[in-house]
Every structure is written in structure tokens, then in C-alpha cells.
């Protein structure tokens, strides 16, 4: 089973609308990373969350890590076509199993 589940799997929104992507872990998260992948390209780091309750923002993108540290949400305000791509959450297990692994991904399409 997938240790990191993202929802929704895909999202189509009108430009200007707000949206939220969720990432749920079956285990406690000690480091949660958000990446964006444009179609056919590599991954771009967005932000990292480490503490329960932590919230970070970058331009119109805000990410939170919940108090119990098993879920994170990524919120985009006033979406633009440039936000389109695949959003991936990643969990850091390098302190235990030497792995850094990713969620299932959310494909975002923004219609102008």
C-alpha cells in the first residue's frame, strides 16, 4: 500500500480560483516536502515543513503540516496557468530507512 496518499489525483480549475491539495501519511511525518513537476521536466522544490502546525508560504502557495504530523495541505490562491503541473509531496525517512519517497501526485490544470 502507498504510504503517502495525495488527493485529489487530478484537478481542473478556472484561472483565479483557489484550490487545495492534500497529502496524508500512514506514519508520522518528520519532514514533509512539496515539489512541483512541469510536464516532461524535473522536479522543483517548493517548500519543506518539519514541525507540527508549521505553515509556509511562497508567493501564492501556502503549505501546512497538521498538529498530529500525519497530513499536509497545499493551498494555491488565485490560481494561474503557470501553476499547472504535477504536485508531489515527499516524506523524509532518511533518519531511519535511508529513503526519501513521494506521494501519488496531483495533476493540476488551470484553464485560462
Residues that bind another protein (CB under 8 A): 31, 33, 35, 41-45, 48, 88, 90, 92, 94-95, 97-105
The nearest distance, CB 78 to another protein, in angstroms, is 26
- Which of 77, 73, 85 minimizes the C-alpha distance to 32? 73
Q: In the complex, what is the shortest distance from the CB of residue 67 to another protein, in angstroms, rounded to a whole number?
A: 21
CA 89 to chain centre: 4
CA distances from 14 to 17, 63, 77, 104 (A): 6, 21, 12, 23
Under DSSP, is residue 84 helix (H, G, I), strand (E, B) or coil? coil
* 3-state secondary structure (DSSP) of residue 82: helix
Nearer to another protein, 15 or 92 (CB): 92
Q: Which is nearer to another protein, 87 or 110 (CB)?
A: 87
Half-sphere exposure of 98 (CA within 13 A, CB side): 0
Of the pair 35, 83, the CB lying nearest another protein is at 35
Q: Which is nearer to another protein, 41 or 59 (CB)?
A: 41
Least separation in angstroms between residue 98's CB and another protein is 4
Amino acid at each position: 500500500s502507498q504510504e503517502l496518499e495525495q488527493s485529489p489525483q487530478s484537478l481542473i480549475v478556472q484561472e483565479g480560483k483557489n484550490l487545495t491539495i492534500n497529502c496524508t501519511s500512514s506514519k508520522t511525518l518528520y519532514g514533509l516536502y512539496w515539489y512541483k513537476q512541469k510536464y516532461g521536466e524535473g522536479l522543483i522544490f517548493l517548500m519543506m515543513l518539519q514541525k507540527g502546525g508549521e505553515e509556509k508560504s511562497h508567493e501564492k502557495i501556502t503549505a501546512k503540516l497538521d498538529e498530529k504530523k500525519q497530513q499536509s495541505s497545499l493551498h494555491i490562491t488565485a490560481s494561474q496557468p503557470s501553476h499547472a503541473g504535477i504536485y508531489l509531496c515527499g516524506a523524509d525517512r532518511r533518519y531511519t530507512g535511508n529513503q526519501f519517497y513521494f506521494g501519488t501526485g496531483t495533476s493540476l490544470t488551470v484553464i485560462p
